[in-house]
Amino acid sequence: MNKQSRRYFIQKIGATATMLPLLAPLDLFADSAGHQNQPMLRVALMGLGNYASRVAKAMQDCKFAKITGLISGTPEKLRDWGSTYDVPEKNRYNYSNFDQIKNNPDIDAVYIITPNALHHSQTIRVAKAGKHVICEKPMAVSVEEGKEMVDACKKANVHLLIGYRMHFEPKTLEIHRMRANDELGAINFFQGQCGFKIGNPNQWRLNKDLAGGGSLMDIGIYAVNGARYMVGEEPIWVTAQEIKTSREKFKEGVDETILFQLGFPSGAVASCLSTYNMNFLDRFFLSGDRGFAELQPATGYGPIQGRTSKGPLTQAHTEHQTLQMDAMAQIILKDHKPTIAVDGEEGLKDLYILEAIYNACKTGARQEILLPQPHK
């Protein structure tokens, strides 16, 4: 290397060294995946079933959340999942001893993915252990249980978030934006159809003691919740009708098919269907006096498809649980405010409406809905 080349090389090195402090936040602290090093929400998954498998796989692409703990009643699952997701044995718990997470600094939050009737007691135990709670929907099987969960998490000063993955789905959010910006005009009608033919008659979803109900609790809640964020109002009344074709499969307290209608303060109405006995029902339709929006499929794992009076929706698909867990990490770690709420109060509102729907089915009479007022 001649003098001129050496001088040029030294000058370049000096310039690069001068720039290092400026480049560091962008490059030097990036992780192997190219993400910036920043706080990660360390999550223990509770209930290692089919849906937890989907969550766990999706979380491998998260930027702000990672799996650091496991809770299950099946030792084999703890062993296999621990190996797959690199969770050390000290961070694996069963349903009897998971209160010990209180003393585990590797865990910030627990994602409860167990049968509906277990959410209440498990949420309260996690809150008492001082960890944040992410709970699958429906958050509980009654309003009373939901209230106790909200109160327990407030008392423990931990977050309670409900697994409303559609609140972070891009096409859903685009329709929400259009409605909020008055691009569809005054909303007058919403239709939500949620259904499939359920299989194994011995599964927990058809057990009243574990599910707290039937199709309405499992998939009808998507239409209940969707009606609220699509219309942009809270319903004030409901009428409903239950249809049951097999009392052997759908025993007392386990609904097969429910049609329900919601009324809103503006005069808008919703017509919805929840069923465990009809396939190909996964559609939302929103009508305003200047436009419409439609999603079909609307709540499946994706990709969601949609169109509006302005044309097709083209937002890219990302695994819903990846988006959900990254967003929830930002809510917990940085107090971010989501476009559509996912906190315990949001889940509690749905429970009020679910109970009103069941009462309307039982009595045959219209039920008035009085939702709790937000805390000030």
Residues annotated as part of the active site: 137, 222
The helix or strand, by DSSP H or E, that contains position 346, with its residue range, turns out to be: helix 344-363
Q: Where are the domains of the chain?
A: 41-162, 166-320+343-368
Query: What is the pLDDT, as a whole number, of residue 375?
Result: 55
The H-assigned helical ranges of 157-199 are: 170-180
**Phi, psi torsion values for 304, nearest 5 degrees:** -70, 140
Burial of 287 (0-12, 13-18, 19+ CB in 10 A): middle
First to last CA, the chain: 72
Cis peptide bond upstream of 297, omega within 30:
yes
The candidate with the shortest Cα–Cα distance to 233, out of 180, 285, 185, 272, is 180
Counting other chains too, the contacts that 351-354 makes at CB distance below 8 Å and 24 or more residues apart are 351/138, 351/139, 351/140, 351/142, 351/143, 351/146, 352/143, 353/224, 353/235, 353/238, 353/262, 354/138, 354/213, 354/216, 354/217, 354/220, 354/221, 354/224
Does 41-162 match 166-320+343-368 in CATH topology? no
Q: Residue 275: what pLDDT?
A: 98
> What kind of architecture, by CATH, is found in domain 166-320+343-368?
2-Layer Sandwich (3.30)
pLDDT of residue 372: 84
Class of residue 285 by CB neighbours under 10 A (exposed 0-12, middle 13-18, buried 19+): middle
- How many whole angstroms separate alpha carbon 362 and alpha carbon 9? 83
β-strand pairing of 311-312 with 269-275: unpaired
pLDDT tens digit at each of 376 positions of the chain: 444 444 443 344 344 433 333 333 333 333 434 455 679 999 999 999 999 999 999 999 999 999 999 999 999 999 999 999 999 999 999 999 999 999 999 999 999 999 999 999 999 999 999 999 999 999 999 999 999 999 999 999 999 999 999 999 999 999 999 999 999 999 999 999 999 999 999 999 999 999 999 999 999 999 999 999 999 999 999 999 999 999 999 999 999 999 999 999 999 999 999 999 999 999 999 999 999 999 999 999 989 999 999 999 999 999 999 999 999 999 999 999 999 999 999 999 999 999 999 999 999 999 999 998 765 4
Amino acid at position 327, single letter: A
Residue 367 β-bridge partners:
238
| pLDDT of amino acid 374 | 65
CATH number of 41-162: 3.40.50.720
Q: What are phi and psi of 272, to 5 degrees?
A: -130, 155
